[in-house]
Amino acid sequence: MWGVTGHDKIISHLENSVVNSSLAHSFLITGIDGVGKKELAVALARRLFCQSDDPPCNSCNVCRKIYDTSVRDESIRFKHPDVIYVTWMTEKDEEDSEKTYLKKNAIVIEQIRDIKAQMATAPFEGPARFFIIDHADSMTPGASNALLKILEEPPEYVHFFLLSDKPGNIIDTIVSRCQRIDLLPVPVEIIENHLFENPEYDHDKAVLAAHLSNGAPVKAERFMNDQKWWDTRNSSIAEMLSVVKLSPAARFDYAASFKGQGADKRNSIIDTLDLWLTLWRDILLINVGLSDNVINRDYFADLSGIAEYTLAKDIKNFLFAIKQSMGFIKGNANMQLTMEVLIMDMPVLSSQK
């Protein structure tokens, strides 16, 4: 519905609110990365603003101005003066320490003051003014308090959409002022069917992308259009498949390759660990005879080869260790040290099962 993949019940509910003119003024939309939080807010704006007979048409000038997917740069896709998108600041400063960078991954009070100034102006073109605040959980305490005051009494024409994959980090007083919409992961069949609609997409690749997206249709779509992502995935898998065969000493040497610092390095290690989680989850599933649920189907033979020579309890321990290490790395721990310890937990292939 509305050109959004999945979430039909929620959209019907919002459709009713639009028809009855009972749309809430503040929404908190939660869900995993890529599940469609921003897409839902965009669709609702189009539903209200689009002048076609059956809004949203998703193709008229108004719809495209609200969110223009023909431009690559995400930050300039929002072109409508009444649909304002605010997100955390991520500009990188080369000589900055990591700490400063992390602080920049935040929504700061100046941005909320800017919203306050903008919302005093009545809509320019549309019937309402939308403020979409992405990564709302990254607001600094000052920004949170400033937003709280704004949410207490917004002008009649203003609607807020706070988007978050970590709603537990938003202060309760803000949450309680919002109508909460929790977007659940979208069933894989629905994502597949959505991808199949595009005649340019390869069928097998679409099936794989849908499974790899873990219920996040926006991610699946991103995968289909990003060959670099597949290249990185393939080389990371190849790397893991070779590390698992190494002796403990050689594994330790490999861990040294994670030496380094900086947010980019940190993010790339987190991506690697994310992939390891899905690979080792698959190995565990094969090991316990639940092969139908394997995600990385294109590497089934390789993963089966590992599953055959590992013990379920070792795999479970390693999965736990990966999750724990991800937490450490996100918390600014020494990357090389963390990886050295983690790699020692990687199950050793044995023939005694």
List interacting residues with Zn ion (CB under 5 A): 50, 52, 57, 60, 63
Whether residue 164 contacts residue 136, with contact meaning beta carbons closer than 8 Å, is answered with: yes
Distance in angstroms (rounded) separating the CA atoms of residues 5 and 195: 10
Nearer to Zn ion, 65 or 233 (CB): 65
Whether residue 262 contacts residue 100, with contact meaning beta carbons closer than 8 Å, is answered with: no
In degrees, rounded to 5, the angle at the alpha carbon of residue 296 between the alpha carbons of residues 291 and 300 is: 55
CB of 60 to Zn ion, least distance (A): 3
Q: What pairs with residue 162 in β-bridges?
A: 28, 133
Collapsing DSSP to helix, strand or coil, 260 comes out as coil
Nearer to Zn ion, 128 or 146 (CB): 128
- Residues 6+ away with beta carbon under 8 Å from 262: 98, 101
CB of 259 to Zn ion, least distance (A): 52
Instruction: Give the residue from 37, 130, 122 showing the smallest Cα distance to 80.
Output: 130
CB of 49 to Zn ion, least distance (A): 8
CB of 57 to Zn ion, least distance (A): 4
Nearer to Zn ion, 57 or 184 (CB): 57
Distance in angstroms (rounded) separating the CA atoms of residues 123 and 204: 46
Nearer to Zn ion, 37 or 46 (CB): 46
Nearer to Zn ion, 50 or 188 (CB): 50
Sign of the dihedral defined by the CA atoms of residues 112, 114, 115, 116, in that order: positive
CB of 61 to Zn ion, least distance (A): 8
Nearer to Zn ion, 38 or 266 (CB): 38
CB of 76 to Zn ion, least distance (A): 20
